Structure 1
Amino acid sequence: MSEQPPLVLVVEDEPDLADLYAAWLGDEYRVRTAYGGQEALDELDEADDEVDAILLDRRMPGLSGDEVLAAVRERGIDCRVAMVTAVKPDFDILKMGFDDYLVKPVTSDTLRETVEGLLRRGEYDTEMQELFSLTSKKAMLETEKSATELADNEEYQRLTDRIEELRSEADQSLEAVTEDDDDFEKLFQEFDTDADVDTDE
């Protein structure tokens, strides 16, 4: 018997939008929907199978997406999380434990690519997952903030220092891997794509 497809939990308080996301992903993945924060946590508690990825709205009545994300991490639930939200990223994202961040509206292709990326990252070790998450945050902030704002923010400076530390460790790991390791090559192609945005220009 073949393995079941990965399980994706869509958390969105607009039912029509949640159902649309589920329809976009349904051909490739098993998808469950939750139309609110508390319902999402109930789904995670009741899930017979481990949830592999969560698409999580930030602004929801009752339990917000930020609170759901905090609860997921506090409970030690091992899954990748992408925020899919109309809220533009600000410096507050530096303290949040998500893996990727999409600003609505999103296309079906973007959503599918995001889930694919989340699942691929789930196969990497903790340090590499952290590298991708931090690089994603850095790219988003560099899109939204001026060079002066970034330079004046101490948390952003700590973020860049941590990325450099993780990149150095990753470079050392790369040297120890054979050149024909396709999975590892894909990992670094994805990382280089995330890291293209730079404020030094």
Structure 2
Amino acid sequence: MDEQRGIVLVVDDDPRVARVYAEQLRQQHTVRVAYSGEEALESLDDDVEVVLLDRRMPDLTGDEVLERIRDRGLTCQVAMVTAVEPDFDIIEMAFDDYLFKPVTGEQLLSTVDHLLKRATYDNALQEFFAVASKRAALEAEKSHSVLQRSEEFAELTARFEHLQAELGESLQELDDEEAFDLVLSDRF
């Protein structure tokens, strides 16, 4: 699957975790590794297609690295890979997916493949998937009653529903594998 191969930057301040992720991904992708936020920004260029970014790091947090990535105008896909329980602050963050540690090699490979595919979609579809990821992360970690009381979550859900209606045909045109993966991911 050479067309699926991409350049992935793994960022985690725990060298063991970063090495394990890198080894799991090297089966199918070219991998760069950074052990800090500063090192990540130094390693990042236009060739990097996917960044797997830890949120909790000592020098620059993953949140700060994400902000700098977007400020630089880089269009890489970013997945936050973290043990940090998501709160409503993630709604405003410009990531594309959110994974909870611990993650398996299969989850990493699947996420990278999905993000590479999403990068080929138009901006509206990319936004839809990012919003869906945030919604799914919050639904996985917050109680129904907390979500019901949250104005931010209500706005996120309204945005999700608006995009879903707007993109109806485009979503139906996704190939069978992508549609199957979306159903399995329990995001819709």
What is the TM-score with the length of structure 1 in the denominator?
0.85
**Which runs of no fewer than 5 residues in structure 1 stay unpaired?**
178-182
2:49 aligned with 1:52: yes
Residue in structure 1 matched with residue 5 of structure 2 by the alignment: 5
2:98 aligned with 1:101: yes
Q: Secondary structure at the match of 1:10?
A: strand
Residue in structure 2 matched with residue 20 of structure 1 by the alignment: 20
2:136 aligned with 1:131: no
Checking the alignment, whether the CA contact within 8 Å between 2:4 and 2:116 is kept in structure 1 is: no
Checking the alignment, whether the CA contact within 8 Å between 1:91 and 1:141 is kept in structure 2 is: yes
- Separation (CA, whole Å) in 1 of partners of 2:98 and 2:166: 25
- Separation (CA, whole Å) in 2 of partners of 1:142 and 1:174: 22
Larger Rg, first or second structure (1 or 2): 1
Residue in structure 2 matched with residue 43 of structure 1 by the alignment: 43
Checking the alignment, whether the CA contact within 8 Å between 2:15 and 2:35 is kept in structure 1 is: yes
2:27 aligned with 1:30: no
Residues 1:43 and 1:148: Cα distance change in structure 2 (over 3 Å): same
- Separation (CA, whole Å) in 1 of partners of 2:180 and 2:94: 23
- Separation (CA, whole Å) in 2 of partners of 1:156 and 1:98: 17
Specify the code of the residue in structure 1 equivalent to 2:5.
P
Checking the alignment, whether the CA contact within 8 Å between 1:34 and 1:43 is kept in structure 2 is: yes
Checking the alignment, whether the CA contact within 8 Å between 2:6 and 2:29 is kept in structure 1 is: yes
Q: Secondary structure at the match of 1:41?
A: helix
- Separation (CA, whole Å) in 1 of partners of 2:169 and 2:26: 39
Q: CA deviation at 1:20?
A: 1.1
Residues 1:58 and 1:174: Cα distance change in structure 2 (over 3 Å): closer
Checking the alignment, whether the CA contact within 8 Å between 1:139 and 1:194 is kept in structure 2 is: no
Specify the code of the residue in structure 1 equivalent to 2:33.
T
1:72-107 deviation per Cα after TM superposition (whole angstroms, max 9, x unaligned): 111110110111111111111111111111111111
**Which runs of no fewer than 5 residues in structure 2 stay unpaired?**
none
CA RMSD after TM alignment: 2.0
Residues 1:58 and 1:9: Cα distance change in structure 2 (over 3 Å): same
Checking the alignment, whether the CA contact within 8 Å between 2:135 and 2:157 is kept in structure 1 is: yes
Residue in structure 2 matched with residue 149 of structure 1 by the alignment: 146
Which of 93, 111, 114 is the aligned partner of 2:111?
114
Identity %: 49
1:41-92 deviation per Cα after TM superposition (whole angstroms, max 9, x unaligned): 0111xx4x51100000000011110000011111110110111111111111
Residues 1:196 and 1:74: Cα distance change in structure 2 (over 3 Å): closer
Specify the code of the residue in structure 1 equivalent to 2:38.
Q
- Separation (CA, whole Å) in 2 of partners of 1:139 and 1:102: 10
Checking the alignment, whether the CA contact within 8 Å between 2:132 and 2:187 is kept in structure 1 is: no
Specify the code of the residue in structure 2 equivalent to 1:28.
Q
Checking the alignment, whether the CA contact within 8 Å between 2:79 and 2:96 is kept in structure 1 is: yes
Q: CA deviation at 1:164?
A: 0.9
- Separation (CA, whole Å) in 2 of partners of 1:4 and 1:136: 21
Checking the alignment, whether the CA contact within 8 Å between 2:11 and 2:52 is kept in structure 1 is: yes
Paired residues, number: 187
